[in-house]
Structure 1
Amino acid sequence: MAGLEPKFILKEPNRETHTLIYLFLNWEGKRLKISTTETIIPEYWDKENQRPISNKKLLRNLAPILLKELSILSIRLDEIDLFVNDLILDQKRDNAVSLDVIQRKLLEFLGRKMIEEAKPVSFIEYFTSVVTRMENGTYLTDKGTKYSPNTIKSYKSNLLLLTDFEKEIGYINIEEIDIDFYNSLLQYCNQIGFRTNTTGSVIKRIKAVLHTAFEEGISKNTIFQSNNFKAVKEKVYNIYLTTEELKKLIDLPLSGTYEKYRDVFLIGCYVAQRYSDYSRISPEHIQTTGNGNKVIDLVQIKTKQRVLIPFLFPELDTLLQKYDYKVPKIVEQPFNRALKKIGELAGIDKEVVLTENIGGETKERLVKKYELITSHTARRTGATNLFLLGYSAIQIMKVTGHTTAESLMDYIKVSLEENADKMATQIETE
């Protein structure tokens, strides 16, 4: 019974970051593919031996902690290999080789017994297992990093929604999720008053979990690939603050917590970063270029993109000096509430028409501009004001960390009137 040798293959062998290690078995035209849930950076993988590299010359300059990780991984793969070969030998003796049996017992060995034994497989149970693995760090992002607390929180909220939805429609079998399920879920989200983009986020996470279930051999359902099973989305009206409105915030007499919140937000507006990045600026991030220009040198939390932020606004240096170049620690939720009040106090009260799709109905309402200020307004404000100052998209992308002009333009919130004025000014100066 040749051809039943287990093989370990990397999911994405050309990646520069961690990738999953899969176990493959072929038998009589059938193929078994199971994720070991283990990961490795391809640079440290020996494709021929299907194990982490063991060449002493290659290992010589590696950090001790990495050497230990590779050693532990090699032992773990040896254990899986031995377990599978023992299963195969047992089946050969009985002349009854079954990939289904091997899959079931291997999943049990890998700690996924409860999921595999559920017949049919419960989507709720599998979704729960993914969230649990996110929390303990054994389920990683495509970049080989752990999921952020905010992302895990979003998946948990999604799980609660699905649990309530299951009470409405009955048991959700992962193999039976189809377009009817999708349409019913859209209708349910409308009934409970979700905005279109909130529903879209729910669908996006469901697609991600279904994809993982397929990749791990838990499910054969490929509905997540369908163009009809899409994450709905609508363009959201997001604001930015003009330089005049930023001046109003600067001139606003504040003290205590409100003063600190205002200052942190303004720093975000002048560096055009996400809250997770501008809220952690410290003295070690302040550097000087070869030409003597002071910059903020950051590696962004979300994308791992390195950015150099020049001090283009004197207000930025003044604010950072105030806190010895260490942005004070704050909590984002009360921060967002406080920003609206601070905006109101500063007189940022221009009325804007807000159009939203809520519960499947398009609604318009007038709101004061300060009601729409959040921690993320700072990033849009920074990007837009840099654009209005005449910097090119490429220059701005080097600061914001956007990798495409298209994604950057989602952050440029220039009105038709502002765009016309900008173009007229450019003509006058040529």
Structure 2
Amino acid sequence: MNFKFSLSEKGISSHIILSISDYRSEKLHILTPLKISPDQWDAEKERPKNIYLKKNKNISAVLDRIKVELAEYIRQRKTGKKAVTKTGIKKKLSEIITVKALQQPENSFLSLTLSYITVRKEMICHSTYKRYLVFFRLLQRFEGFLHRRLILTNINAEFVRDFFIFGKKEEYSENTLHRTIHFVKTILNFAEKKGITTHVRELEVRREKQPSRIIILTESEITKIKQTEVPEEYETAKDWLLISCYTGQRISDFMVFNKSQLSEAGNRMYITFVQQKTHKEIVLPLHPVVLNILKKNDYCFPDPIDHNVYNRRIRKIAKLAGINEKINARKRTGHRSEDALVKKWEVISSHIGRRSFASNFYGKIPTPLLMQATGHSAEKMFLNYINHNSHDRLATLGNYFEQLYAG
């Protein structure tokens, strides 16, 4: 069974045509009610070009549902030795397009996945919940690629092979593919705890060690940012960037810092808060840079900024500060990320403060104290934040070599 999608005659908006082959040894063409602008259509991939735009995402999801449910309908008709007619296919197609979401049978893998996400929703932070939904939608697209539903008993080594074929064709990064497989293993372990036998042990995937690409602001770069004059509307973002570099917290935590969380003991000022992701209570002494920002604001934190606005503004601030070092990094091009040689300011985002804090103070402050500040439980996870190739640290090491040699 083969499904192909194409557009009707070109115009401002064209209907999507479904062509089905292996139907009585002839092709069947059906004009669907789905419409899209020709300049938004990818003829090679037979779907919208940018599947991350809301309208295109919906169309792409419907096309995947058509491939899964229509193939299932035709297989069931043939298994039951019932006629597969054009009228029957058009009726089923209308049902699929009308329903807003793919109906998940109880024995399907995605049904179990939804159960897991629902159970975990109240125990995880919103960013983790959103990441789970990204994995879920990726697996839905994989079902469209296969033209069939994922059944729990078929999640095995063959599934991994097919998933990587799909991933390479769709140009997903190695990191995305491996993280999705790890999520699938999590669902299978969830099933095992419910007494369901799975093939979870067949999902062992060797992963080549990727080069470390921890992007940080060095102490000298942070100093440049402190000394850079920025437009008035960017002052708040600049203050938050400096606060993040000297508190080491995620944006979900530092962007909601407020005066009521402050306390004083032994001539030192502290902030006490509960991390949204880990639910850990953190008591953190405030760095002099943070104290200076508070002093100029009558000991109030700056006004919160929308996440996306914050990211755009701190990139602009870093550009104004001359953070122009050329680095290899993943940069988004359209709706995909790819390796590129870019200026550092181009790839700065909200998490850079947390990574900079961990890297800049590593080796100067005992690691257990740093982990207490960042909220990491395992040193292995904490070390993932460290840029071991920091120029400042390498320069310091070089200075030690010179001093020892001179002595």
Q: What TM-score does the superposition give when structure 2 sets the normalisation length?
A: 0.65
In structure 2, the CA distance between the partners of 1:383 and 1:346, relative to structure 1 (3 Å rule), is same
- Residue pair 1:197, 1:232 contacting (<8 A) in 2 also: no
- Residue pair 2:157, 2:202 contacting (<8 A) in 1 also: no
Write the deviation string for residues 10-39 of structure 1: whole angstroms up to 9, x where unpaired: xxxxxxxxxxxxxxxxxxxxxxxxxxxxxx
From 375, 399, 404, the equivalent of 1:401 is 375
From 176, 193, 215, the equivalent of 1:215 is 193
Counterpart AA for 2:244:
G
Deviation at 1:316, TM superposition (A): 0.9
CA distance in 2: counterparts of 1:409 and 1:186, whole angstroms: 29
- Residue pair 2:259, 2:301 contacting (<8 A) in 1 also: yes
Counterpart AA for 1:149:
H
For 1:167, the equivalent position in structure 2 comes to 144
CA distance in 1: counterparts of 2:349 and 2:263, whole angstroms: 29
Deviation at 1:350, TM superposition (A): 0.8
Tell whether 2:105 aligns with 1:140: no
In structure 2, the CA distance between the partners of 1:387 and 1:334, relative to structure 1 (3 Å rule), is same
For 2:134, the equivalent position in structure 1 comes to 157
The two structures, once aligned, show a CA RMSD in angstroms of 3.0
Alignment of 1:72-111 (within 5 A): none
What SS does the aligned partner of 2:328 have?
strand
In structure 2, the CA distance between the partners of 1:235 and 1:280, relative to structure 1 (3 Å rule), is farther
CA distance in 1: counterparts of 2:159 and 2:183, whole angstroms: 15
Identical columns (%): 24
Deviation at 1:379, TM superposition (A): 0.4
In structure 2, the CA distance between the partners of 1:416 and 1:251, relative to structure 1 (3 Å rule), is closer
Deviation at 1:425, TM superposition (A): 5.5
For 2:111, the equivalent position in structure 1 comes to 125
CA distance in 1: counterparts of 2:391 and 2:226, whole angstroms: 26
Deviation at 1:418, TM superposition (A): 3.7
Write the deviation string for residues 309-347 of structure 1: whole angstroms up to 9, x where unpaired: 2223x2211223344433422221232233222211221
Tell whether 2:300 aligns with 1:311: no
For 2:178, the equivalent position in structure 1 comes to 200
For 1:89, the equivalent position in structure 2 comes to none
What SS does the aligned partner of 2:270 have?
strand
- Residue pair 1:265, 1:378 contacting (<8 A) in 2 also: yes
- Residue pair 1:203, 1:230 contacting (<8 A) in 2 also: no
Aligned pair count reads 296
Deviation at 1:233, TM superposition (A): 6.7
For 1:386, the equivalent position in structure 2 comes to 361
What SS does the aligned partner of 2:197 have?
coil
Write the deviation string for residues 358-381 of structure 1: whole angstroms up to 9, x where unpaired: 9xxxx8531101122111100011
- Residue pair 2:156, 2:202 contacting (<8 A) in 1 also: no
Deviation at 1:254, TM superposition (A): 2.4
From 153, 158, 165, the equivalent of 1:187 is 165
For 1:282, the equivalent position in structure 2 comes to 258
CA distance in 2: counterparts of 1:257 and 1:180, whole angstroms: 54
For 2:328, the equivalent position in structure 1 comes to 353
Moved more, 420-429 or 193-202: 420-429
- Residue pair 2:315, 2:349 contacting (<8 A) in 1 also: yes
Write the deviation string for residues 360-417 of structure 1: whole angstroms up to 9, x where unpaired: xxx85311011221111000111122126x2221222222222233322222214275
Tell whether 2:384 aligns with 1:410: yes
- Residue pair 2:185, 2:203 contacting (<8 A) in 1 also: no
- Give 5+ residue unaligned stretches, structure 1: 1-113, 134-138
CA distance in 1: counterparts of 2:308 and 2:358, whole angstroms: 23
From 234, 244, 265, the equivalent of 1:268 is 244
CA distance in 1: counterparts of 2:189 and 2:131, whole angstroms: 18
For 2:275, the equivalent position in structure 1 comes to 300
- Give 5+ residue unaligned stretches, structure 2: 1-102
In structure 2, the CA distance between the partners of 1:306 and 1:387, relative to structure 1 (3 Å rule), is same
Q: What TM-score does the superposition give when structure 1 sets the normalisation length?
A: 0.61
For 2:227, the equivalent position in structure 1 comes to 251
Counterpart AA for 1:350:
E
In structure 2, the CA distance between the partners of 1:387 and 1:369, relative to structure 1 (3 Å rule), is same
- Residue pair 1:238, 1:372 contacting (<8 A) in 2 also: no
What SS does the aligned partner of 1:385 have?
helix
CA distance in 1: counterparts of 2:390 and 2:149, whole angstroms: 50
CA distance in 2: counterparts of 1:130 and 1:334, whole angstroms: 33
